[in-house]
């Protein structure tokens, strides 16, 4: 199908996801917060990556590819959802994880359940995935297959369209409840989600988008979001964002994939006040960043916070590997 953005798109998500007021959280934070529930997108246990995969799988099918190759850590939400989306649409799937082989639990077990091949690079460096996926793709080509290769996180201009589309959905929901947001907050990892929102929010007049980085340095995120958002906007023929993206550092805690004390406290507050679980790797740390900014008096509401999913990692014992 082609939809709103005039781009090929397969159906994976149950949309729109709810936009919910969070009155008890807002009272504790001292700023009005609304929750955009993208943990409820459906496909597997849901999450932000499902939106981008609607465009990426459509692109793979349009290119007549028969196998999706991507990767990440053994706990990667992205990798599992990419494999699941591929399988649902009749493609094979291979995931490449960095590090040594570990028992299949959490996201890796869920990927294996649907017949995904999972390989390990044997190298703890996260970037070893990037060469690993190319190696697998080459092996598949030799066998006469047509691989669709995606880097960690699926952060491409096509993948970013998922959150350009989400911005249109969000703009409609905000208008329906008469809320003019002063900003949108989310967790930023590979930057595709923020890039799509940055482009879409500019297009739809939704105010600045603040990404709290949970893995990469701030400058690298700014560069990636700027480039991806401009390319996504160009793809659909809307003006590129006029301002640079805002990326906030300082909330990584002990490292990517590790729980942080302030993230755990933020997640506990959101669960206690609103009955919503934030994953420890991404959204918990982003909420910690938002609560800290509110405590400093740096933000005014109403704000929208993206609950981005990651349910499988709620049950993983630390350290998590994403
Ligand atoms: C639950 C969750 N939230 C947020 C993100 C960050 O999204 P992005 O990689 O597009 O920056 C991810 C990425 O995997 C995720 O799994």
pLDDT digits (tens, 9 = 90+) for 85-130: 999 999 999 999 999 988 888 999 999 999 999 999 999 999 999 9
Give the residue whose CA is nearest to atom 3 of ligand 1. 308
pLDDT, residue 207, reads: 86
List b or e across 132-144, with b for residues whose CB sees 16 or more CB atoms inside 10 angstroms. bbeebbeebeeee
pLDDT at residue 1 tops 80? no
State the distance from the centre of ligand 1 to the C-alpha of 48, rounded, in angstroms.
Answer: 7
Q: Is 62 exposed, middle or buried (0-12, 13-18, 19+ CB in 10 A)?
A: exposed
Average pLDDT score, the chain: 95
In the block, residue with structure tokens 């350290």: 319
pTM of the predicted structure, to 2 decimals? 0.97
pLDDT at residue 143 tops 60? yes
- The model's pLDDT over 32-91, given as tens digits with 9 standing for 90+, comes to 999 999 999 999 999 999 999 999 999 999 999 999 999 999 899 999 999 999 999 999
State the distance from the centre of ligand 1 to the C-alpha of 128, rounded, in angstroms.
Answer: 19
Task: Read off the pLDDT band of 317 (50, 70, 90).
Answer: low
User: How many angstroms separate the CA atoms of 5 and 81, rounded?
Assistant: 23
User: How many angstroms separate the CA atoms of 92 and 79, rounded?
Assistant: 13
List of domains in the chain: 19-48+155-315 (3.40.50.1100), 49-153 (3.40.50.1100)
With the most atoms of ligand 1 within 8 angstroms of its CB, the residue from 41, 43, 48 to mutate is 48
State the distance from the centre of ligand 1 to the C-alpha of 76, rounded, in angstroms.
Answer: 9
Give the residue whose CA is nearest to atom 16 of ligand 1. 77
Of 5-9, 208-212, 213-217, minimum mean pLDDT range: 5-9
With the most atoms of ligand 1 within 8 angstroms of its CB, the residue from 41, 47, 51, 221 to mutate is 47
Range 238-262 average pLDDT: 95
pLDDT at residue 182 tops 70? yes
pLDDT at residue 322 tops 70? no
Provide residues with CB under 6 Å of ligand 1: 47-49, 77-78, 153, 155, 187-194, 279, 282-283, 308-310
State the distance from the centre of ligand 1 to the C-alpha of 144, rounded, in angstroms.
Answer: 33
Residues of the chain above pLDDT 70, percent = 97
Q: Is 102 exposed, middle or buried (0-12, 13-18, 19+ CB in 10 A)?
A: middle
pLDDT, residue 102, reads: 85
User: How many angstroms separate the CA atoms of 259 and 319, rounded?
Assistant: 7
State the distance from the centre of ligand 1 to the C-alpha of 138, rounded, in angstroms.
Answer: 27
- The model's pLDDT over 219-236, given as tens digits with 9 standing for 90+, comes to 999 999 999 999 999 999
């Amino acid at each position: 199908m082609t939809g709103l953005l005039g781009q090929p798109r397969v159906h994976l998500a149950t949309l729109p996801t709810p936009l919910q007021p969070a009155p008890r959280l807002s009272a504790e934070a001292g700023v009005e917060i609304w929750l955009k529930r993208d943990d409820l997108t459906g496909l597997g246990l849901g999450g932000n990556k499902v939106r981008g995969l609607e465009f990426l799988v459509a692109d793979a099918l349009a290119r007549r590819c028969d196998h999706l190759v991507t990767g990440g850590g053994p706990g990667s939400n992205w990798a599992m959802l990419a494999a699941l989306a591929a399988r649902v649409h009749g493609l094979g799937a291979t995931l490449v994880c960095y590090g040594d082989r570990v028992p299949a639990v959490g996201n890796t077990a869920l990927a294996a359940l649907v017949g995904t091949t999972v390989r390990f690079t044997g190298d703890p460096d996260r970037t070893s995935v990037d060469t690993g996926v190319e190696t697998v793709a080459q092996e598949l080509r030799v066998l006469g297959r047509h691989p669709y290769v995606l880097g960690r996180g699926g952060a491409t201009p096509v993948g970013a369209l998922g959150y350009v589309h989400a911005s249109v959905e969000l703009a409609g929901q905000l208008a329906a409840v008469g809320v003019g947001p002063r900003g949108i907050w989310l967790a930023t990892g590979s930057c595709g989600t923020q890039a799509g929102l940055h482009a879409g929010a500019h297009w739809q007049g939704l105010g600045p988008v603040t990404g709290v980085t949970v893995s990469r340095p701030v400058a690298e995120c700014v560069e990636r979001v700027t480039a991806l958002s401009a390319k996504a906007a160009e793809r659909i023929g809307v003006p590129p964002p006029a301002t640079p993206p805002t990326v906030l550092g300082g909330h990584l805690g002990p490292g990517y994939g590790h729980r942080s004390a302030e993230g755990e406290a933020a997640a506990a507050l959101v669960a206690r006040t609103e009955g919503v679980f934030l994953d420890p790797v991404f959204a918990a740390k982003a909420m910690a960043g938002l609560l800290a900014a509110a405590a400093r008096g740096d933000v005014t509401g109403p704000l929208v916070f993206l609950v981005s999913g990651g349910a499988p990692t709620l049950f993983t014992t630390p350290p998590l590997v994403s």
